[in-house]
Structure 1
Amino acid sequence: MSAILVTGGTGNLGALVVGMLREQGHEVRALSRSSAEFPVDLRDGSGLDAALAGAEVVVHCASSPRGGDDVAAGHLIEASRRAGTVTNLVYISIVGVDVVPLGYYRTKLRVERMLEDSGLGVTILRTTQFHDLVAQVTASMAKLPLVPVVPLPKGVRVQPIAVEEVADRLAELAVPVPAGRVADMGGPEVRTLEEWGREYLAAAGSRRRVVGVRMAGAAYAGFRRGGNLAPDRAVGRITFGEYLAAR
């Protein structure tokens, strides 16, 4: 196989994918704005043509909750077409992007559709939220000034999965033959964010109390309905407790 490109190759997920592919003996180009060998800026597409030269497979891990994923995907699609050698563009998405009307999710769904309509070979994997996100949300709310409790959205169930397991699956999918939309991946346990928050705080040695807060809006309602869950695809093995213990 020729070189495999990984966008967001220095990020939380991308760096793991890069490492796994290199351990398997592949030539991997880890793309980022700070890369010495392949500096790429997906915001304007600069550097993509050189990075994609001769590549067959692209694993697209780069993402930003601040917006612009669709613009970045457009640049990547156009550059992949120009390269003429890309046979599989692997994309990591999120369970629920088609049913939970959150802005970030809507953008991820738009990228999925852009890829499907691109004329390129694509593979799309949706997963539930990473353990890291649950920890980050709880930690950030625990730092609120002048708030004696930890407020978390009430009644929102979450099914966190280990980023390592997702990286392993992406490395498995990084082959020249595209697979289309593959089966979703979900974590091994479903609990409310309030319950996960209490487990995180206990592991961190905090005695602060979690309080569930009702919120407004269609996105919150979508989460309350469980649109972000994949209970029939609970294929993850690493529990949140094991993740916390490893930290």
Structure 2
Amino acid sequence: MTTILVTGGTGTLGRPLTERLRADGHEVRVLSRHTRPYAVDLREGTGLAAALAGVDTVVHCASSPRGGDEQAARHLIEAARAAGVQHLVYISIVGVDRVPLAYYRTKLAVERLVEESGIGWTVLRTTQFHDLVLQLLQNSAKLPVMLLPAGVADQPVEVAEVADRLAALAAGAPAGRVPDMGGPEVRAFPDLARAYLRASGRRRPLLNVRLAGSAYAGFRAGGHLTPERAVGKGTFEQFLAARLTPQG
């Protein structure tokens, strides 16, 4: 089977992706800053040659909103070319070309680096994972009133389903930009918040807050959504039921 290196292999997506690839019989190398024998900081690039030796396919999941993604991608691509990697798979976000958020602009720039790498490539864009939406709601619920972005909806997707899709893409031939992958439902944030409160057994009043800026306008316009590609199956309620224990 194929030898596949997964960057960010201990993260929210990388962990189930690695498990799925190994279950399918592939040899998988997990690349992260703290996991040996392939503990590599992509922003520095040291150690990549050894990690990529004999690798057929790279799935690039490592990312940080704190910055450094473009530099990391350049190091990875340079080392992958030198190692003779045949396929580079990148996970991106729906709306990186429509919502002018700094992190999205970086993800789009990395997409372009992948496309221009000279390596066979595949790019999959997905909507936000259930995990991220839950984190946002949990943070908001720390206050006496849950503050929510007015007029914004989301389309969360189950990370295990994204892992399955990425695993299939990694096992196949380079496919370029593949169809986007969205969760099964477009949900307004108050609706998601009420689902979270029910599942957690908490009580909080909700307050919609209108925010300023072009990024917020892009979210209000639904630039991060893909209702025509609502191919995910797992709902937010199903995710919450598996993740949360109601509070007494």
Q: TM-score range by the shorter chain?
A: over 0.9
Aligned to 1:136: 135
Aligned to 1:66: 66
Per-residue CA deviation, residues 201-237 of structure 1 (Å, 9 max, x unaligned), is 2211111111110000000000000000000000000
Q: Distance in 1 between matches of 2:219 and 2:38?
A: 39
| Local SS of the residue matching 1:172 | helix
State TM-score, norm by structure 1.
0.96
Q: Distance in 2 between matches of 1:95 and 1:51?
A: 30
Aligned to 2:57: 57
Aligned to 2:112: 113
Q: Distance in 2 between matches of 1:88 and 1:60?
A: 11
- Residues 32 and 40 of structure 1 are in contact (CA less than 8 Å); yes or no, is this contact kept in structure 2? yes
| Local SS of the residue matching 1:174 | helix
- Residues 5 and 52 of structure 1 are in contact (CA less than 8 Å); yes or no, is this contact kept in structure 2? yes
Letter in 2 for 1:165: E
Per-residue CA deviation, residues 167-218 of structure 1 (Å, 9 max, x unaligned), is 0000001136201000000000111112111211221111111111000000
Q: Percent identity?
A: 65
What pairs with 1:35-114 in structure 2 (closer than 5 Å)? 35-84=35-84, 86-114=85-113
Aligned to 1:203: 199
Q: Distance in 1 between matches of 2:203 and 2:35?
A: 42
Match of 1:224 among 220, 224, 241: 220
Runs of 4+, deviation exceeding 6 Å: none
Letter in 1 for 2:199: A
| Local SS of the residue matching 1:19 | helix
Match of 1:193 among 185, 189, 192: 189
Q: Distance in 2 between matches of 1:46 and 1:198?
A: 47
Of the structure 1 ranges 168-177 and 20-29, higher mean CA displacement relative to structure 2 is found in 168-177
Match of 1:214 among 187, 210, 215: 210
| Local SS of the residue matching 1:10 | coil
Letter in 1 for 2:193: G
Q: Distance in 2 between matches of 1:168 and 1:131?
A: 16
State TM-score, norm by structure 2.
0.96
| Local SS of the residue matching 1:151 | strand
Q: Distance in 2 between matches of 1:194 and 1:218?
A: 22
